[in-house]
Chains A and B, each alone.
Chain A
Amino acid sequence: DAGITQSPRHKVTETGTPVTLRCHQTENHRYMYWYRQDPGHGLRLIHYSYGVKDTDKGEVSDGYSVSRSKTEDFLLTLESATSSQTSVYFCAISRDQETQYFGPGTRLLVL
C-alpha cells in the first residue's frame, strides 16, 4: 500500500469554525489530490497539487483552500465549516498523473 496517512481520522466540529485536514505521504509523489465522498455523488475533486506551492481547483472547491509547503504534506482547510461540508474526505497521491492511490479517509461531521 502507498504510504499515505490522513489526520485526523474523525472530527466533529461546529458550524462557522475553521477546520484543517492533513494528508501526509512518504512516497515522494509529485501530485496530490483532495476528494470528498457523499452518498449519491460518488467522489468529487476539491483541489489538487502538481508540486510544492502549485495547486489548482477541482469541481467543488468553494469553501475550501489548500496549501502545500513541502512535498509530503497537503493541507485542506475549511475556512468556515458548514453542515453541507459534512462528508468523508480522501486524499490521493500520484507519481506521474497516471494512477492515483488513496488514503484511509477523514470523516468530518459539522454540527
Chain B
Amino acid sequence: DAKTTQPPSMDCAEGRAANLPCNHSTISGNEYVYWYRQIHSQGPQYIIHGLKNNETNEMASLIITEDRKSSTLILPHATLRDTAVYYCIVRVGYSGNTPLVFGKGTRLSVIA
C-alpha cells in the first residue's frame, strides 16, 4: 500500500508556480521522499528527492516540513509540457530490493 496521500488532480496556469502537496504522516526516520512524474505513454521520470532538508534542482524544489509528515513539490514556472501525473513516493534510500511503490498520484493539468 502506498504510504502517501496526494490530491487526485490539480490545475495550474502556464507560467505560474505549481505547488503539489503530499502527506506522508507515517514516514520513518530513514525514509526519503521521492517525486517522479509520468507524461502520457512515457516512462516515469525522476524529478527530485530529499530526506529532511529542502532540495532544489533544475526541474523543481522540494519543501519538507520540519516534522517530515508532509512535503510540497514546486515547479516554479509551469509549462504545458509539465502536464503529467506526479507521484510522491516514500522509500528507504539505499535499498535495491525495495521497489518504488507508485500510488495514484496527482494529475497536473497546465492550462494556457
Contact = CB atoms under 8 A, between A and B. Distances in A.
Answer whether A and B are interacting partners. Answer: yes
Give the bracket for the number of chain B residues in contact with chain A: 20 to 34
A91 to B, nearest CB: 8
Interface in A5-37: 31, 33, 35
Contact of B97 (A56, A101, A102, A104): A56
Contacts, number: 54
Is chain B's binding surface mostly helix, strand, loop or mixed? loop
A100 B42 contact: no
Interface in B42-90: 42-46, 49
B42 A105 contact: yes
A43 interface: yes
Interface in B80-112: 93-97, 99-104
A92 B45 CA distance: 10
The residue among B2, B43, B44 with the most chain A CB atoms within 10 A of its own CB is B43
Given A42-B102, A43-B102, A31 B96 contact: yes
A50 B43 contact: no
Given A90-B44, A105-B42, A98 B102 contact: no
Nearest to B95: A97
A58 B100 CA distance: 11
B43 A100 contact: no
A74 interface: no
Give the bracket for the number of chain A residues in contact with chain B: 20 to 34
Contacts of A101: 46
Contacts of B94: 96-98
Given A98-B94, A99-B49, A45 B99 contact: yes
A97 B41 CA distance: 25
Contacts of A105: 41-43
Contacts of B32: 98
Would you list the 3 A-B pairs with minimal beta carbon distance, nearest first? Answer: A102-B43, A45-B99, A97-B96
15 contacts: A31-B96, A42-B2, A42-B101, A42-B103, A48-B97, A56-B97, A90-B43, A94-B96, A96-B94, A97-B95, A98-B93, A100-B100, A102-B43, A103-B43, A104-B43
